Homo-oligomer: A and B are copies of this chain.
Amino acid sequence: MLELDLRSRLPIYEQLVEKIKTLIMEDVLKADEQLPSVRTLAQELTINPNTIQKAYKALEREGYIYTVKGKGNFVQKIEKGDQREKLMLLKTELKKILSEAIYLGMGKDEILKVIEEVENNVGRDQND
Contact = CB atoms under 8 A, between A and B. Distances in A.
Contacts of A2: none
B7 A100 contact: no
Interface of A: 6-7, 9, 11, 18, 21-22, 25, 61, 66-69, 71, 74, 78, 80-81, 83, 86-87, 90-91, 93-106, 108, 110-111, 114-115, 117-119, 121-123
A96 to B, nearest CB: 7
Contacts of A106: 87, 90-91
20 contacts: A6-B68, A6-B71, A7-B68, A9-B69, A21-B100, A22-B99, A25-B100, A25-B103, A78-B104, A81-B105, A83-B104, A86-B104, A87-B104, A91-B106, A98-B114, A98-B115, A99-B121, A99-B122, A102-B119, A108-B119
